[in-house]
Structure 1
Amino acid sequence: MAPRRTEWDFGLSRLTKFFAGPWSHERTVDETIADAALGHLDEPAGEAAWAILADAVRLEQSSLSTEVITTVWTVASEGGYNLDYFGVDGRDWLRQVAAVCSEQARQAHPAGTSVIEAVAASEDSVRAVVAAIAAAEPALAAKAGTFFGHKPGEVVRVLELVAAQVDPDLGFRLLLRVLDACGVPISDAQYAQYEALGEVFGHGRFHVSDVEYLTRYRPAPRTA
């Protein structure tokens, strides 16, 4: 079952928002995953769950190190569900996410296929996303204190690895999520580049626009 492209963010990048700090411990971890897997009201049943499942499986089965996976999750989720703090292995975490979403997708489509194939991305799309990630490094460096102990260069590196070795679409979605989560200012030219990439990947009209406000965002200067 291929996920329909929603008008909004989707997949693992959307899941990180449900765990954004301070994450509400009034919900269990599995309940929070299940909430994200329900999707938006205008989405067919099961498709949001499938989108998260596909991202989680591809990332878990990739050649990326567990440390890279943990870093991506920590920064994108604003440290809300800190895997290191809770002693959770990054790959075990993705398996847990996949298990919950697989059940949600199965309930919606009992006869649906559960085969998730690796992404066959074009070299052009990989290069474009990696270039967009690299171009964001100076702005990320200005917000170095928001990355939960990770250096800006490390954040850029792990995003590039996701884009190049797993899925450029996922790498791009996680870039947008990190910029939004950490309040990283971007230029009008960067935003235009993100809009163009969003069109390439078929993202919905309310997806890339999540970061449009960052073109006007200027953090207040620190006082001594």
Structure 2
Amino acid sequence: MQLDFGLTALGEKFHMEWRYDGPNPRDVVRHWGEFVGHDEAGREDLRRLDEDVRLLLASPLSDDEIHALWRVAAMFYPAYPVNGQEPPRGRVWLAEIAAELRPFVEESADGAPVAGVIPDAERSAVIALAGRLTPRAELPLEPLPASTVIAAVERCATLVSAALAFRFLLRAYSAYNSPVPATSWAAFEELNSSFGYGEFMLATIEYLRAE
């Protein structure tokens, strides 16, 4: 997994001109699924996305916490009505993503993925890095206090998956343009290796490294 994947990578589809990919948020997911879902590599990408979605759907996180995580991954997801409809939030949005993925992802006989035991060291390290986030910018369109996102990342690391929380944390640092001092960068590298992610996963925050 050299590059970002899953729900955090889907957020990249919601760039400033996302409506060229579909008039509504759900259309963006559908068109991407249709584009990549016809070969094995693309179906694996969709399977990983589906796993993230189902993990959060089954989690104890609130809709507001899920929305906060999603918004740092998808900075230009609309905060206003699109074609007369309010954009879906929280579990409603995740359920819509899951519905669009259904034609391309085989349903697991095991049902929804279950959050495993989260090692204390990994959970603590993610939470520590979340606490060091120092916002220098606001999210576009729908400002969310950094404290709200930090709390959601910490809850995700504690109750759902430290590895998934780590990917959202990378997006949060980028969304809030938070500097990454050398000590934090070393901690990011250690966690990135621990989760089995490749070096390019950290490209999300490379430009924020402080000397």
Interval containing the TM-score (normalised by the shorter chain): 0.7 to 0.9
Change in Cα spacing, 1:203 to 1:96, as seen in structure 2 (3 Å) is same
Contact 1:14–1:36 at 8 Å: present in 2 too? no
For residue 34 of structure 1, report the CA deviation from its aligned partner.
4.0
- Residue 208 (str. 1) matches residue 205 (str. 2): no
Of residues 171, 181, 185, the one that matches 2:175 is 181
Q: 1:76 to 1:44 in 2, by over 3 A?
A: closer
Match of 2:58 among 61, 64, 82: 61
1:1-224 → structure 2 map (5 Å cutoff): 6-28=1-23, 29-34=25-30, 36-37=32-33, 44-82=41-79, 86-106=86-106, 113=109, 115-120=111-116, 121-136=118-133, 139-140=134-135, 142-144=136-138, 148-215=142-209
- Any unmatched runs of 5+ in structure 2? none
Cα contact 1:159–1:175 (8 A) shared by 2: yes
Q: In structure 2, what is the Cα distance between the partners aligned to 1:9 and 1:144? A: 23
Q: Distance in 2 between matches of 1:209 and 1:145?
A: 19
Q: Match of 2:166, as an amino acid?
A: F
Q: Partner amino acid for 2:16? A: G
Which secondary structure does the structure 1 equivalent of 2:207 belong to? helix
With normalisation by structure 1, the TM-score equals 0.78
Q: Determine the C-alpha separation between the residues in 2 that align with 1:161 and 1:84.
A: 29
Find the aligned partners of 2:158 and 2:40 in 1 and give their Cα distance.
29
* SS in structure 2 of the partner of residue 104 of structure 1: coil
Residue 182 to residue 47, structure 1, CA distance change in 2 (3 Å) = same
Identity %: 25
Normalised by the length of structure 2, the TM-score is 0.83
Q: Partner of 2:19: helix, strand, or coil?
A: coil
Secondary structure at 1:73 match in 2 = helix
Distance 1:24 1:191, change over 3 A: farther
CA gap 1:68/1:147 in 2 versus in 1, 3 angstroms: farther
Task: Give the Cα–Cα distance (whole angstroms) in 2 for the partners of residues 152 and 176 of structure 1.
Answer: 13
1:89 Cα deviation from its structure 2 partner: 3.5
Shift of 1:117: 2.0
CA contact (8 A) 1:11 1:53 kept: yes
